Structure formats: structure tokens, C-alpha cells
Amino acid sequence: MANETMNLNTPILTLDSDTVLETAQSKADLIWHDIQNAYRTRKILTGILGGIEKTEAGSLIAIIYYKDYRAVIPISEMMINLIQDETHDYGDFSLRQNKVLNNMLGCEIDFVIKGLDTKSRSIVASRKDAMLKKRQIFYFDQDSSGQNKIHEDRIVQARVIAVAEKVVRAEIFGVETSILARDLSFDWLGDARERFQVGEHILVRILAIQGDSPETLSIHADVKSVEGNTSKENLKNCRVQGKYAGTVEDIHKGTVFVRLELGVNAIAHSCYDSRTVGKKDKVSFVVTHIDEERNVAVGIITRIIKQNI
């Protein structure tokens, strides 16, 4: 038994005599030491939302993975603020929370450690505390020039935490905001899920900031003003009576929204093909006139080149 202890404590002899090889245990010990320091200093850590579970009492908990360690965040500490009143009665509250968490799986989460168990090396944390701390630092504390780090019209990096067909949910330095499809791109965007993924980082422009405290803070942001409008320039290459290939991005109240291959937004109110046009169909489009005020080509779908089955 003494020999086994001695072997575990003896440094591993490597092929390069100057190299110290770390074992999995020594790496884990070092990470746990960093976690303990973060707990004492209330440092904000970042992990991945990797799971959703229910406790024996039936409460939802989020499972965050940080450098191979598992942290538990109670649903009450996840900062999921759902309106619950007579005008927003969308069913069971816990089911709605579960749905929100499901959409967030795989995203980055900031958290502050609230409690540790050294023996079992278990962690209990709070996303809410981390978000409020970040809000104070970036939206209210001022730099040496007397300006807030984040202010209106500033371009900042944001995390994509959830994506639906017509909206992207982003977390911008402690504040969650929904960016609608019309604010994501100047291009017709039929499905935001084709361009944005949970977990990625995107650039956004801060359009408006409301609230006089971290608890009441809300923001409005967009993506399209950062990317710019290429359709406006491409429209110069579009000719009336010209025929172009395009893809149907959306259909709404009889209007078909087409993205032409030459990088132009187009709308059609009629289709000469006997088949019913659908989203993602490849079509042939004839331009009848140019709407320069809206930066779109207006025309007719002459035929469906390839249907999206």
C-alpha cells in the first residue's frame, strides 16, 4: 500500500527529461483550485448549458459544464423572465420555462458560484447574479472618459442563445433581447435557423437602452445595420424585363418573397407555373419594374425550376 502511494506521488518519467506530464487527476485538481478561487472572489465564469433535469421535488435545474465540472443552476437563478398574467396565459408556467431552456441547450452561460461541496466537488451557481453584475459593469459603470462601456449606436459582440424561424434570441453582456427577422438582414430571410446557430457569436448594433438600474434594464439591437445593405448596390445590375433565377424565401398573404441569385430582394404577386409555389423553391423570375424606394425588384414568377420537396 505504501508503494502504491509512493508511485502516485512520484512524477512521471517522460521521454523529454525537462517535461512535466500532467495526469488527469492533477489537471482536475488545478481546475478545482481555480473554481474555489472564483467562489471566493465571486468571479464570473462561462460554461455551456449542457442539460436540463428535474429534482426529486420536481423543480427544474439547468446543468452547466465548466472544464469537465458540472454546475447546477436552479431555474429561479436562470433569469428566465416570463410574463405571467391574464393576458399572457400560455399554459403551465414550468412547461414554458422548460421550453425556453430546451431552445437554449448548447449556448454559453455566464454564472457566479453560490456554493461548493469540496468532498463531492459539486457546484451550485447563479446565472442571475452574473447577468446583473455584467449589466452594472457594462451599462452603468463609466470608463476613464466618463462614458458607459455600452451605449446606443455601439457595435458589440453578442451570444446567440436561441433561434426560431423568425427571431434570434441574443444575450448581450448580461441582457437578453429578441432580434426579429426584419432586423437580422436586409436580405429576405425566410428562416433565421438557416443562418444563425445557438452558441455562435455575432456582431450587433445597440439601437436603444432603457432602464435606470440593472434589474430594469432592456435593450434593442439589430444585426443588419452592421452587415450593410448589399441589395441596394446589386439592384443597379437588375434590368426591367430581365429574367433571373432566385429562391423563394417566404410567402405571406399571397405575396411571394424571392431572393434573386444576383443578390437582390424581389417580390411577386403571381406565378405562371401551374404548380403551387412553396418556400425554398428555385424559380425563374421576370422583373417588371424596380421599386427604388424599397430597394426591391417587382415582377412575376414564370416557372418553378426546382421544387423543394
Q: Which helix (H) or strand (E) holds 179?
A: strand 175-180
Mean pLDDT in residue range 7-27:
66
Mean pLDDT in residue range 35-41:
96
pLDDT in tens, 52-77: 999 888 889 999 999 989 999 999 99
The single-letter code of the amino acid at 97 is Q
Region class of 222: left (phi > 0), else alpha (psi between -120 and 50), else beta? beta
pLDDT in tens, 124-136: 999 999 999 999 9
> Strand pairing of 201-210 and 175-180?
unpaired
| Nearest residue to 169 (alpha-carbon basis) of 140, 194, 137, 202 | 202
- Domains of the chain listed by start with CATH number: 24-81+92-131 (2.40.50.140), 150-227 (2.40.50.140), 230-306 (2.40.50.140)
pLDDT in tens, 239-254: 999 999 999 999 999 9
By CB neighbour count within 10 A (0-12 exposed, 13-18 middle, 19+ buried), where does 282 fall? middle
| Nearest residue to 81 (alpha-carbon basis) of 220, 178, 157 | 178
pLDDT in tens, 149-177: 999 999 999 999 999 999 999 999 999 99
pLDDT in tens, 79-116: 987 655 455 444 566 788 888 899 999 999 999 999 99
Q: What is the pLDDT of residue 12?
A: 61
Residue with cell 414568377: 301
Would the pTM of this model clear 0.75, i.e. be above it? yes
Instruction: Give percent of the chain above pLDDT 90.
Output: 71
Alpha helices in the chain (DSSP H): 2-9, 24-41, 93-104, 127-135, 224-227, 230-234
